Chains A and B, each alone.
Chain A
Amino acid sequence: MKILAVDDDPLLLELLETTLESSGYENVSLASSGPEALRLLDSALKPYQCILLDIQMPEMDGIELCARIRRMDAYRDVPILMITAMTERSFVERAFTAGANDYISKPFDPFELTTRLRLAGERIEQQRAVSDKVFAIQSMKQELERTSRFAPDQPIQIEDVSGVVDQVMLENHLLRLPRADQYQAAAVAFRIEEFDYVYAMSRPSELFLLLTDVAECISEQFKHGEFLMSYAGSGSFVCLTQRTSPALDPQLLTRIQDSIDGLELEYENGRPCNISLVMGKPASKPLFFGGQPTTIIYEALESARVATRPKRSFLSVVHSRAANVG
């Protein structure tokens, strides 16, 4: 254990050094004042693992020194033991407040000193074990983030949102519908504008939650009729409903956008995450069309891909914000 002992009495420092060395602690540095101790701590290539501080010292007392050591990044958690005479016991509370871990009374008993140091050493080991675990967890988390990062165009599965299925299931559903119902079906797609930017700004787990939020806002508008929806990748969602669905009115996009704005989404760094949605034209199978019924899904997605956001008047923005506040 690398130890720094600080005391203004050279004889006491000598006694500490000899006692520590005879107890097997051979890496002991000595400082006779606070400023000297700070210089040693600053210039240490390998941080000290335990610090012994006298409380009463001229120029800078042990309590002030303790507080200053605790402000150094490398010594935030290192055990600090105060060495105090009986008359200084009243300072002990202040020393603990300044960040000391323990204290040894002067005149110190060598056995007590080595016992306290052994306890400090055990504490260092425990801290090391905890920080190793924290490091391992962080590494696992990073690895998980790395392996769970999906490509921007990957149609990931959104879960726990009413009506949301994966795209294969959506297509199968359409294929299995009776022919008459296939003609009644309509597909409409929505796309998050500048999705590449949102993708780049978000961690995978964050992006997943964001897509789930958007899916919920869309789902909410279709909940009163038959509908299924899937996330198609690239920030696009496709919904399957009926041509006659009351949801497909001209204000559909505005309602969904208002709902998204009301969530006041943020990136992890606290910056606002402004999601703008565009909507493609609803696609449905024309009568006497002989092709694949699933074509409408791709038509809807293509329409959303090329769609641009309708300009909103200043008043409509104000009204929608007021509605959200209400």
Chain B
Amino acid sequence: MLAENDASGMMDGTEMSKLPALLRPKFIRRLADGRERMETQLHRLRDGSAEASDLRELQGEAHRIAGIAGALGYPALGNIAARTDSILGRMLAEKDPGPDVTDAVRHVDVLNRAISTVLRTTQAVKQSA
């Protein structure tokens, strides 16, 4: 479960109350806006047509999610994004990514699915409210 009520890394009520409620919808919107692009880049990564600019963009997005998700109540998503950020960064630093590509595909895929889960859960919470 990756949504904001994830008990594994959920901030307590006092801390949550300090966080700006307005920022979470903005964060969710950004996740939704970037998802299609991420899926396209993931597809290119799988079929071997991805360019360095794709990797850089993917890493940038993973880095941004890693930096803020935890503070907004999505720590699990933040951890997945941090691992993806790390592996893409390593790939970009090396001239020959080699076997890291398979690993990168797996991590971006996990991140993409985690984003889907967060978006789905948020939608469900909205509808039930």
Contact = CB atoms under 8 A, between A and B. Distances in A.
B23 A107 contact: no
A85 B18 contact: no
B20 A9 contact: no
Given A11-B26, A12-B68, A15-B68, A85 B15 contact: no
A9 B71 contact: no
A106 B67 contact: yes
Interface residues on A, range: 20 to 34
Given A11-B30, A19-B18, A109-B15, A86 B64 contact: no
Contacts, number: 69
A107 B63 contact: no
Indicate the member of A12, A86, A87 with the most B CB atoms within 10 Å: A87
A108 B71 contact: yes
Interface residues of B, number: 24
Contacts of A108: 71
B64 A15 contact: no
A56 B63 contact: yes
B98 to A, nearest CB: 20
Contact of A9 (B19, B67, B72): B67
B86 interface: yes
Given A56-B63, A86-B82, A87-B89, A14 B20 contact: yes
Interface string B13-42: 001001110010011001000000000000
Contacts of B27: 11
B68 A11 contact: yes
Contact of A106 (B18, B30, B66): B66
B4 interface: no
B10 to A, nearest CB: 13
B20 A18 contact: yes
A22 B18 CA distance: 7
B82 A85 contact: yes
A87 B72 contact: no
A235 to B, nearest CB: 71
Contacts of B89: 87
B23 A110 contact: no
A107 B64 contact: no
A289 interface: no
B15 A107 contact: no
Contact of B66 (A58, A107, A109, A110): A107
A56 B60 CA distance: 9
Indicate the member of A7, A9, A107 with the most B CB atoms within 10 Å: A107
Given A11-B64, A86-B82, A87-B86, A107 B18 contact: no
A20 to B, nearest CB: 11
A163 to B, nearest CB: 77
A111 interface: yes
A14 B30 CA distance: 14
Given A11-B23, A87-B85, A110 B67 contact: no
A87 B66 contact: yes
Indicate the member of A11, A56, A83 with the most B CB atoms within 10 Å: A11
Nearest to A21: B20
Nearest to A108: B71
A11 B70 CA distance: 13
Contact of B68 (A86, A87, A106, A110): A106
Interface of B: 15, 18-20, 23, 26-27, 30, 60, 63-64, 66-72, 75, 78, 82, 85-86, 89
- Sorted nearest first, the 9 A-B pairs with minimum C-beta distance are A107-B70, A87-B86, A107-B71, A18-B20, A106-B67, A9-B64, A12-B68, A85-B66, A87-B85
25 contacts: A9-B68, A11-B26, A11-B68, A12-B67, A15-B19, A15-B20, A19-B20, A56-B63, A58-B60, A85-B67, A86-B66, A86-B82, A87-B82, A87-B85, A87-B86, A106-B66, A106-B67, A106-B70, A107-B66, A107-B67, A107-B70, A107-B71, A109-B71, A110-B15, A110-B71
